[in-house]
Structure 1
């Protein structure tokens, strides 16, 4: 069964080779990130800037940004805008081994990793606090009498 995408320019077959404007915007930003023109943590161009650059509507730009976020290339910071996502590359991974890879390593996996490390730190801090409280309770009882 052949899929159909409905976009601003009407219907087109999936894989027809004619990218929609939001796909062009997303691909252009991906290329800028991959080439180092935009670094991890850098802000992405604003919606207004992208609308002017590509002659696109706000909805089209929003679709492009949603695609980049879904793929793990970008993250939103409420009140601040969209930024290039940070991605951890495993020590044994070499991008030259996989030149056809277009999606960044990490994305959701990198965020889960970061949260797991933060949770482990919190567990250690709780254990330290528990030990301090126990020391104060046992030592404090002797001092108070």
Structure 2
């Protein structure tokens, strides 16, 4: 039985394959997916990371996640026998998705550090 994050990722992949979501379209927000699937934020983040890693989605900082663009060659491949598992964006989109995921992780770490320092300062403890 697939895990919840895999179900979320496959549901979004199917919406992309069917044309319900097209390249450049915004993917549902984290909170919308949490509500729809009764999932935690971490579960939704894992699903989105999987989609980005496989070239199905890209992130735009401050704007959200979007269906990865693909060229005609990629679209032709999707009509073939590998349609079920073929990523939309190809190698370039995968690299971009990984770079974006890394940039987001760095931003999240910086934000967490700032929050910790603020909490420590509020408690009267010296910051790092």
Q: Normalising to structure 1: TM-score of the pair? A: 0.58
Q: 1:89 to 1:98 in 2, by over 3 A?
A: farther
Provide the aligned length of Structure 1 versus Structure 2. 95
Aligned position for 2:53: 70
Partner Cα distance (1:20, 1:89) in 2: 33
String of CA shifts for 1:70-107, please: whole Å, max 9, x gaps: 0000000000000000011329x454332554222533
Structure holding more strand per residue:
1
Task: Answer 1 or 2: higher relative contact order, Cα 8 Å, separation at least 6.
Answer: 2
Structure holding more helix per residue:
2
Once the two structures are TM-superposed, the CA of residue 39 in structure 1 deviates from its matched residue by 0.7
| Local SS of the residue matching 2:79 | helix
Partner Cα distance (1:111, 1:62) in 2: 17
Aligned position for 1:103: 86
Q: Normalising to structure 2: TM-score of the pair? A: 0.65
Is 1:22 the equivalent of 2:9?
no
Structure 2 runs not aligned, ≥5 long? 96-128
Partner Cα distance (2:56, 2:78) in 1: 16
Aligned position for 1:43: 26
Q: 1:21 to 1:110 in 2, by over 3 A?
A: closer
Tell me, yes or no, if the aligned pair for 2:27 and 2:65 is still in contact at 8 Å.
yes
Is 1:88 the equivalent of 2:71?
yes
| Local SS of the residue matching 1:104 | coil
